[in-house]
Amino acid sequence: MDTTTMTLEEKIRILAESARYDVSCSSSGSSRSNTKGGIGNAASSGICHSWSADGHCVSLLKILLTNICIYDCAYCLNRRSNDIRRVALTPEEVAELTINFYRRNYIEGLFLSTGVVRNPDYTMELLIRTVRTLREEHRFNGYIHLKLVPGADPLLVEQAGRMVDRVSINLELPTRGSLALLAPDKSREAILLPMRQVSGLITARRDQGRNAPPFVPAGQSTQVIIGATPDSDFRIMTISEQLYQRMGLKRVYYSAYVPVAGDPRLPALIATPLLAREHRLYQADWLLRFYGFRADELLDAGSPDLDQELDPKTGWALRHRQLFPVEVNRAEYEVLLRVPGIGVRSAKRIVRARRVQRLRREELAKLGVVMKRARYFLTADGAGSEGTDLSPERLKELLLPGKKRRSDSGQLSLFPPDPRDLSGITGEL
Amino acid sequence: MAVWRYDGTFSGFLTLCAELVTRREEPEGIIFGESLQAELFRSTVDVENNDARAEKMLGAIAARISPESCRTLWCAFQSRKEGVELLLWRYLQFGRVTGAKCDRFLAHPAVAPVHKLALSVGHEAHTVRGIVRFQETAGGQWYAAVEPAYQILELIAPHFAARCADMNWLIHDVRRNLAVAWNGSEWRLTTFDAQGVPPLSANEATWSALWRSYFAAVAIPQRANGRLQQQHLPKRFRKYLTESV
Ligand code: SF4
């Protein structure tokens, strides 16, 4: 392969194109301060620096060290059997690029991933060398998200975790069976083992108290591909729930499968990525993490897939009309969170404001409640909604988003929310 | 009742509030600078800025209401929305009655509009922290031009002071002829009315070109969503973005 004659610009383009299918761009949840003579810090709230043409927040320099790969995952552009140009950057080149982009405030940090070269350990060592160059030679204190290589030695995993803010290893496919079919070189164990190890080290670090050296302060995340296999939403949400509860993951990302080149193992029918489905999964995920819902409240074996027309919280509320309306001046915070049109932020405001003031309907809109939806599910100082005796069908009709909104043509106005974007989405659910 | 006039600074506004408290008066309006409004009203009370008095007033607000409410006040003031002074004065009056509980009255007409303004100023500052683009000048300094909706330079300066401590940088608010500058040990707000971009270092073109090609490569064509991109990136920001010029 001929990687030397290519310009840096071409290499960056190719390696960025290969890295873009990893959704995560989060730069939040860490806090790392600058050191004397150093450059950079990590802001705990996360910062978007731009928005790409697909509407995604650009926060990190998201790039592969190389797209050379010894594996053959069916859904991946870089798979061994795919006939594409192979290029590689040196750890020094990536470090230099990161620093120069960072100084210009193009980015919040680096998200580094790679194809597997020679073997997992060798690859992991290359990643570590890049991070070390940044941290030690350039004294870079900005955000680093590092991808772990499945099958890498636990010692290397631990070493990496000491230097970066976040690590991730992608689950890729929800079940063992689909993984074996589409990613024959990666075993489920090779993915779960480092995840478990990192989770254990994070807990251990927490028990050591405040002054212990940091270990992935922004936690770990993972990604699941949607639509490449017939797995149901219920299956996916159940797995996410377990990852949050048992492994303490910070985020599970869902990535609608984008056909990157025909492979006989994949469904041939997906012409456009399943963006609407992906969007609903993000909403359901949000409900698990911030709204106290369980996966089996939202879905079950009888209805294993999320409603594409209604958001999952409204869907839940419609199935549980006997629990409504709730009185906003009395209901517990947890109950308020379950009212469609009330988000985390507005629920908190309600709880705060009602201690000093009895809330009437006029006040609720000022607190950020989306009355258009919430009115059917609450009373404020006894005043309920006009027409509480609506039939379920009529109510569902009223709650459907307006016709002008395009459905799954890829033009959803609401995109997978970013964690820092709490305000943007909480009102929506 | 009279119209009260101050010099347009936050400190001047606080001095004015202190004077209102002393005289136990209610203003008809609060204005600054030359304005027709001042001429139309028979009585205009001019208050001269007094830093010490403003400082004392701020201390009193922190003690009577809360330190957070000082910050809310300052942020909302920076919105420079017409009539904001009167809103803030009413907020303070309400705070004098309710004390530390003041900011819990989230839906109260004396509190809600002030919180809303402060929030939107804070939000603008947050966005600008991300979209500032430094360019390295021939003299080895770093220059960035912005056109924020509000006067938020002082809100973003500490962020860049911590982050880019080893760079001499200057962020220029083009519309307001203001700049914050960091010299390696402290930042300062100054007036700044230079036109155009200073001469740049030889490297600058290389890095900005690399960034542009990187930026073009990250979007997935099958997911193109220009509308969403535009929604996040208002025009006033795009003008100075390396990736969109
Ligand atoms: S190991 Fe990673 S880079 Fe290699 S083919 Fe599989 S997904 Fe692609």
What value of ipTM does the predicted structure carry? 0.91
Distance CA A120, CA A241 (A): 29
Q: How far is the CA of A68 from the centre of ligand 1 (A)?
A: 9
Parent domain of A333: 312-404
Identify the domain boundary among A219, A252, A280.
A219
Best probe residue, ligand 1, of A18, A69, A118 (max atoms within 8 Å of C-beta): A69
Provide the chain B residues 192-221 that lie in CB contact (below 8 A) with chain A.
203, 207-211, 213-221
Give the integer Cα–Cα distance in Å for A353 and B107. Answer: 7
Shortest Cα distance, chain B CAs vs residue A93, angstroms: 13
Could you give the C-alpha distances from A408 to A55, A114, A253, in angstroms and in order?
A: 15, 31, 19
A364: closest chain B residue by CA: B107
* Within a domain: B127: no
Mean pLDDT by 10 residues, chain A (429 residues): 74 92 80 86 86 88 96 91 93 97 96 96 97 96 96 96 95 88 89 95 90 92 90 94 95 86 66 82 94 94 89 92 92 96 94 93 91 90 67 78 46 35 32
CB contact under 8 A, B219 and A275: no
Report whether residue A65 contacts ligand 1, using a CB cutoff of 6 Å. Answer: no
Q: Is A116 in the pocket of ligand 1 (CB under 6 A)?
A: yes
Residue B47 lies in a domain: yes
pLDDT mean over B226-241: 85
Mean pLDDT of B15-28: 94
Number of neighbours of residue B145 by Cβ within 10 angstroms:
18
Q: Which of A206, B16, A395, B128 is CA-nearest to residue B2?
A: B16
Last residue of a domain, one of A201, A219, A237: A219
Residue at which a domain ends, from A219, A240, A263: A219
Q: Which of residues 99-158 of B touch A (CB under 8 A)?
A: 101, 104-108, 112, 126-127, 129-136, 142, 144
- What's the pLDDT at A37? 83
Beta-carbon neighbour count of residue A345 at 10 Å?
Answer: 16
Whether the predicted pLDDT of B172 surpasses 80: yes
- pLDDT in the model for residue A425: 33
Q: Are residues A200 and A330 in the same domain?
A: no
Please list, in sequence order, all residues whose beta carbon lies within 8 angstroms of the beta carbon of residue B22, skipping any fewer than 6 positions away: none
Q: Would you call A20 and B229 a contact, using CB atoms and an 8 Å cutoff? A: no
Q: What is the largest CA-CA distance in chain A?
A: 75
Q: What is the CATH number of the domain that holds A47?
A: 3.20.20
> Do B139 and B105 share a domain, yes or no?
no
Are B158 and B81 in a shared domain?
A: no
How many domains does chain B contain in total?
Answer: 2
Mutate to test the interface with A, among B131, B135, B136, B220 (most CBs of A within 10 A): B220
- Residue B169 sits in the same domain as residue B63: no
Structure tokens, A82: 């795919």
- The DSSP code sequence of A166-200 is EEE---BSSSHHHHHHH-TTS-HHHHHHHHHHHHH
Angle, alpha carbons B32-B34-B36 (nearest 5°) = 105
Atom 6 in ligand 1: which residue has the minimum CA distance?
Answer: A73
What count of other Cβ atoms lies within 10 Å of the Cβ of residue A90? 15
Residue B172 CA: distances (Å) to CA of B167, B185, B239, B241: 16, 19, 14, 14
Contact A55 B229 (CB under 8 A): yes
Of A13, A56, A363, the CB nearest to B217: A13
Q: Token match 């016709």: residue?
A: A403
Neighbours of A117 (CB within 10 A): 16
- Tell me which of B102, B122, B142 is where a domain ends: B122
Lowest mean pLDDT across B18-32, B207-221, B231-245: B231-245
Return the percentage of chain B with pLDDT > 90, whole number.
78
Using an 8 Å Cβ cutoff, are A128 and A156 in contact? Answer: yes
Domain-terminating residue out of B94, B122, B150: B122
Same domain, residue pair B110 and B152 = no
Q: Is the pLDDT of residue B222 over 60?
A: yes
Secondary element (H or E) of residue B220:
none
Q: Which of A43, A51, A357 sits opposite B229 (nearest CB)?
A: A51
Residue A321 lies in a domain: yes
- Cα of B136 from ligand 1 centre, angstroms: 38
In whole angstroms, what is the distance from residue A100 CA to residue A97 CA?
A: 5
Burial class of B202 by CB neighbour count within 10 A (0 to 12, 13 to 18, 19+) = exposed
Q: Ligand 1: distance of its center to the CA of B46 in Å?
A: 71
Q: Is the pLDDT of residue B71 over 70?
A: yes
pLDDT tens figures, B113-152: 999 999 999 999 999 999 999 999 999 999 999 999 999 9
Does some domain include residue A241?
A: no
CB A357 within 8 A of CB A393: no
pLDDT at A414: 36
Closest alpha carbon to A102 in B213, B182, B171, B165: B165
**What is residue B69's three-state secondary structure?**
helix
What distance in Å separates the CA atoms of residue B242 and residue B245, rounded to the nearest whole number?
6
Q: How far apart are CA B102 and CA A400, in angstroms?
A: 38
Residues from chain A that touch B135, judged by Cβ atoms under 8 A, are: 104
Q: Is the pTM of this model over 0.80?
A: yes
Between A and B, how many CB-CB pairs are < 8 A? 177
- The Å distance, Cα A172 to ligand 1 centre, comes to 10
Quick one: which of B33, B32, B18, B24 has its CA closest to B1? B24
The alpha carbon of A58 and the centre of ligand 1 are apart by a number of angstroms equal to 23
3-state SS assignment for residue A293: coil
On whether residue B167 sits in a domain, the answer given is yes
Question: Do B185 and B85 have their domain in common?
Answer: no
* Consecutive H or E run containing A251: strand A251-256
Please give the residue that has the higher pLDDT: either B198 or B41. B198
pLDDT of residue A270: 59
55-84 of B, contacting A, C-beta below 8 A: none
Q: Which residues of B touch A17 (CB under 8 A)?
A: 217-218
Residue A262 has a pLDDT of 67
Q: Report the domain count for chain A.
A: 2
SS3 label, residue A383: strand
For residues B85 and B148, membership in a common domain is answered with no
Domain-embedded: residue B153: yes
Same domain for B62 and B139, yes or no, is no
Reference B96, options B82, B76, B110, B115; nearest CA is B110
Domain boundary among B122, B150, B166: B122
DSSP state of B164: T
Separation CA B131–CA A138 (nearest Å)? 23
- Which residues lie closer than 8 Å to B182 by C-beta, 6 or more apart? B157, B160, B161, B164, B167, B168, B169, B170
A289 assigned to some structural domain: no
Residue B155 and residue B193 in one domain: yes
Residue A399's pLDDT is: 81
pLDDT of residue A271: 60
Domain limits at B97? 3-122
The verdict on residue A239 lying in a domain is no
Answer yes or no: do B97 and B152 share one domain: no
